Structure 1
């Protein structure tokens, strides 16, 4: 039986629930209907398809599902309301660590260390230049670092450098297109989440990934 349709249906339901919760936060983050639903349905269907096709070790499916949930919800709120709510970023670290459990204790330990390393690096940037790095980005860096390092130590610097380069490229394009000025603060969360999801998805393709 195909896993794709049930996974897409679960993503649709989870997306609707996520959007419902975001709207009801103390500082509401209203997201239009369809953003979370379509995003999660597509991501979870892709994860199920990869498992079914034998291209993804099932041990890593939970991590990709959790990271894609964070990517969809975090990107929607950061793009639409320019905020990364604490109610989203703080619990996400625990969710990612739990999602690493099927991959083994080594993955969980790497995840904890990765959260400290990337979160610490973002905190330093925030303290040096608060305009360049918001507090929400610092909190988001912890679960992203956990996901990257949990999947493999080599992924952590790739995500960190890739997100920095991608953010610079997005800022340059925005300035050239007249959508932003030099020094404008653009949402960094979607870039960090997109790079992390892409890197992790590519790095854990098959059953021979060590746990």
Structure 2
């Protein structure tokens, strides 16, 4: 569930509609009091928060969220018409995970949301051990034979996704959608290229990533 606190009705309805069209549950709130009331019933996976609001400004809401034991780790993305450096610093210093000034492109917003949800999920994930390969999402560490491996962000996300779905075959389309999302506008061959470089960097553990001809890739049995 994603919560949006936004007093502009047109923006609120568009964002909620777009999120739902992408398969995400979402609720919009025009006033902070409605948001706080709903928060008592259900804690969301992510919060989109405007700064200029009636009743209470977004920075105040964010600070309260960061002091609550049940809400302090919820990813928060600030959405605001204010774009000055001071406002950006205030939001980030108060604990915001990301900051998108208005007007924003909806597909960029969706991409940012997916990225934040992936990172939040990675932080709470268990460690992965597969033969001589080790990955710790919480510390962003990858080792082979206890030696550190330096991966690009996309290579790392691909490895995490494969390990998270160990034993399952992931198609190129699945990999593209979950890792590149709306940032990607090329062809599926980019998956093959990243798999090849990932295997090279993993060295002796590279063979753990199997090619399933005509389908995609998997890791583990």
> What TM-score comes out, normalization by structure 2 length?
0.28
Q: Which has the higher helix share?
A: 1
Greater RCO (Cα-Cα under 8 Å, separation 6 or more)? 1
> What TM-score comes out, normalization by structure 1 length?
0.29
